[in-house]
């Protein structure tokens, strides 16, 4: 059994990744469109192209990590090796050069591709560590819950602090471009320290089955039915989060009207996108804490289906809220809490189910391909982000959304009715439809609790038998050396 320190240390890794990922998902589209200064169409293509490359590179990194052998293990060394490049690339991504439009567009492509490549280089091995830190299926859910709890904690810190950081540096006389860059420098420094702590506090406790050839691993992967179904469900889950998240900054700017004062229990407070997203991250943490007892009681698959159904219901209720009344704004905040609790339950569940798919693959094919399988989880996350981020930009452009920026009167700017309708759909109807699709896919997923109990029992016999054979062979070699 792993100790508490290892579980906390493992959580620090996704705390760092999520601080970057949530800023990318929620603020980067707005940054490109209104701070960096490229069109909505070009922003959509940029998000799609770079994240598709990022998703495709995940299996490559998974295969590399599976074949890495160091004194620190297969996957853990990448936390040490890639931490500094990760932070540096994040700063470059939010740097706005004083160049012409075409040159700036090239800069955006180069820095985003670099950032996503480095993100893959550290996040895929980090995710695969879950498969080698314990062989107990329930404890994998516990590890995954620690991971997601700290991930949402990091996301809360980054999102809640982002706008105040930008405003603070702006108050020092910096341009919007400079203030956004310095805000990222602060976040990047925190991420660097967290990755080093993750490396220091974790250990790889077990070895997966002996490595097969890459061709065999790939063949096993494409014939793995649970893997395909879980990828589809995971893509939908990430698409749900990305569409809503990427829309929030636009929704607040043009539906809510920027910052608003709301009254909660007689106290007046400022209602803005950072608060909305930050409260969501705290609620995610509550959901993560609930994931272990819920899944232990009803199972992983039923939990996934139940959460999807509730996401559909509450997303549709959000559509009925009025942004013009205090009650309507409070209702939006309450629904954000409820929806975020539900997505918080889902997050560790997805990663734990990928660990189960890895066990299923090891039993069926004789090779776990842990890094390759967990890279597909990251791939689904990034495909969801790519499709969701690009779709938001393209839909807003198609509906006539008016961009801010230089030469635009932001105070008196009024969006056309089509853009307003599109923003509402992106926050409610479209995510609900995606959750419905996810529910249908998970219904077909075959790895139930009973099935996984049997798989884990068989794997224990196989793994321990292999370890005994290897130990005997090593003892024989040592005895032979002594005789010589």
Classify residue 299 as left (phi > 0), alpha (psi -120 to 50) or beta.
Answer: left
Residues in contact with 345: Cβ distance below 8 Å, sequence separation at least 6, in sequence order: 287, 288, 290, 291, 294, 303, 307
Question: Which CATH fold topology does 4-202+211-402+411-447 show?
Answer: Growth Hormone; Chain: A; (1.20.1250)
Separation between Cα atoms, residue 340 and residue 351, nearest integer Å: 17
Separation between Cα atoms, residue 305 and residue 295, nearest integer Å: 12
One DSSP character per residue, 103-155 reads HHHHHHHHHHHHHHHHHHHHHHHHHHGGGGS-S-HHHHHHHHHHHHHHHHHHH
Largest Cα–Cα separation, the chain: 90
396 neighbors 419 (Cβ within 8 angstroms): yes
DSSP-assigned beta bridge partners for residue 260: 271
Please report, in angstroms and rounded to a whole number, the separation of the first and last CA atoms in the chain.
Answer: 40
- What the block records as the tokens of 298 is 């009803």
Separation between Cα atoms, residue 339 and residue 306, nearest integer Å: 13
Q: What is the pLDDT, as a whole number, of residue 483?
A: 39
Q: pLDDT truncated to tens, each residue of the chain (484 aa)?
A: 678 999 999 999 999 999 998 888 788 888 998 899 999 899 989 988 887 887 778 778 888 888 888 889 899 999 999 999 999 999 999 999 999 999 999 999 999 999 989 998 999 899 889 878 887 777 887 888 898 889 888 988 898 889 889 989 999 999 999 999 999 999 999 999 999 999 999 998 876 554 556 677 777 777 788 888 998 998 899 899 989 988 998 899 889 886 787 887 777 887 888 889 889 988 988 998 898 899 989 999 999 999 999 999 999 999 999 998 999 999 999 999 999 999 999 988 887 888 888 888 888 777 666 667 777 666 777 777 778 888 899 999 999 998 865 544 444 568 899 999 999 999 999 999 999 999 999 999 998 888 888 888 888 777 665 544 444 444 444 444 433 4
CB atoms within 10 A of CB 292: 19
Residues in contact with 217: Cβ distance below 8 Å, sequence separation at least 6, in sequence order: 63, 66, 367, 369, 372
Residues in contact with 193: Cβ distance below 8 Å, sequence separation at least 6, in sequence order: none
**Which residue from 36, 81, 77 is spatially nearest to 192, judged by alpha carbons?**
81
Per-residue CA distances from 374 to 22, 59, 78, 390 (Å) = 20, 9, 15, 24
Read off φ and ψ for residue 260, nearest 5 degrees.
Answer: -130, 155
**Which residue from 61, 64, 357 is spatially nearest to 232, judged by alpha carbons?**
357
Q: What is the pLDDT, as a whole number, of residue 468?
A: 45
Separation between Cα atoms, residue 29 and residue 76, nearest integer Å: 32
Per-residue CA distances from 156 to 65, 194, 275, 276 (Å) = 30, 15, 9, 10
| Global model pTM greater than 0.85 | no
382 neighbors 399 (Cβ within 8 angstroms): no
CA 291 to chain centre: 17
Q: What is the pLDDT, as a whole number, of residue 210?
A: 46
Residues in contact with 202: Cβ distance below 8 Å, sequence separation at least 6, in sequence order: 6, 9, 10, 13, 76, 79, 129, 133
74 neighbors 204 (Cβ within 8 angstroms): yes
Q: What is the pLDDT, as a whole number, of residue 438?
A: 95
Separation between Cα atoms, residue 426 and residue 130, nearest integer Å: 34
């Amino acid at each position: 059994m792993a100790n508490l320190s290892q579980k906390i240390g493992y959580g620090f890794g996704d705390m760092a990744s999520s601080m970057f990922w949530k800023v990318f998902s929620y603020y980067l589209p707005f940054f490109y469109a209104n701070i960096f200064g490229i069109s909505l169409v070009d922003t959509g293509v940029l998000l799609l192209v770079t994240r598709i490359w990022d998703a495709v590179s995940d299996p490559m990194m998974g295969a590399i990590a599976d074949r890495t052998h160091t004194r620190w293990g297969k996957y853990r060394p990448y936390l040490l090796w890639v931490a500094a490049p990760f932070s540096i690339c994040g700063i470059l991504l939010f740097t706005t050069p004083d160049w012409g439009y075409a040159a700036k567009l090239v800069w955006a492509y180069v820095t985003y591709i670099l950032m996503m490549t480095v993100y893959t280089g550290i996040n895929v091995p980090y995710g695969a560590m879950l498969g080698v830190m314990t062989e107990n299926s329930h404890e994998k859910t516990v590890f995954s819950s620690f991971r997601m709890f700290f991930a949402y904690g990091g996301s809360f810190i980054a999102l809640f602090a982002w706008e105040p950081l930008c405003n603070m540096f702006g108050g020092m006389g910096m341009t919007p471009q400079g203030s956004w860059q310095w805000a990222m420098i602060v976040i990047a420094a925190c991420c660097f320290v967290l990755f080093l702590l993750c490396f220091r506090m974790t250990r790889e406790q077990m070895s997966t089955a002996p490595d097969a050839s890459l061709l065999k691993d790939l063949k096993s992967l494409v014939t793995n039915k649970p893997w395909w179904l879980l990828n589809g469900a995971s893509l939908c889950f990430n698409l749900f989060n990305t569409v809503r998240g990427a829309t929030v900054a636009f929704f607040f700017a043009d539906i809510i009207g920027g910052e608003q004062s709301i009254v909660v229990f007689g106290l007046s407070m400022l209602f803005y996108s950072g608060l909305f997203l930050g409260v969501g991250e705290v609620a995610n943490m509550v959901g993560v804490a609930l994931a272990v007892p819920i899944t232990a009681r009803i199972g992983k698959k039923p939990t996934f289906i139940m959460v999807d159904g509730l996401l559909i219901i509450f997303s549709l209720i959000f559509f009925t809220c009025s942004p013009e009344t205090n009650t309507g704004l409070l209702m939006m905040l309450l629904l954000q809490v409820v929806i975020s609790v539900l997505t918080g339950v889902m997050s560790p569940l997805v990663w734990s189910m990928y660990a189960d798919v890895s066990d299923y693959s090891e039993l069926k094919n004789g090779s776990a391909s842990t890094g390759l399988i967990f890279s597909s989880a990251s791939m689904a996350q990034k495909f969801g982000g790519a499709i969701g981020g690009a779709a938001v930009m393209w839909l807003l452009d198609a509906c006539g959304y008016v961009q801010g920026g230089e030469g635009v009167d932001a105070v008196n700017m009024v969006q056309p009715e089509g853009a307003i309708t599109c923003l509402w759909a992106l926050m409610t109807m479209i995510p609900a439809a995606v959750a419905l699709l996810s529910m249908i896919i998970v219904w077909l997923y075959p790895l139930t609790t009973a099935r996984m109990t049997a798989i884990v029992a068989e794997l224990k016999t196989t793994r321990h038998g292999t370890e005994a054979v290897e130990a005997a062979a090593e003892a024989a070699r040592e005895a032979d050396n002594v005789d010589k």
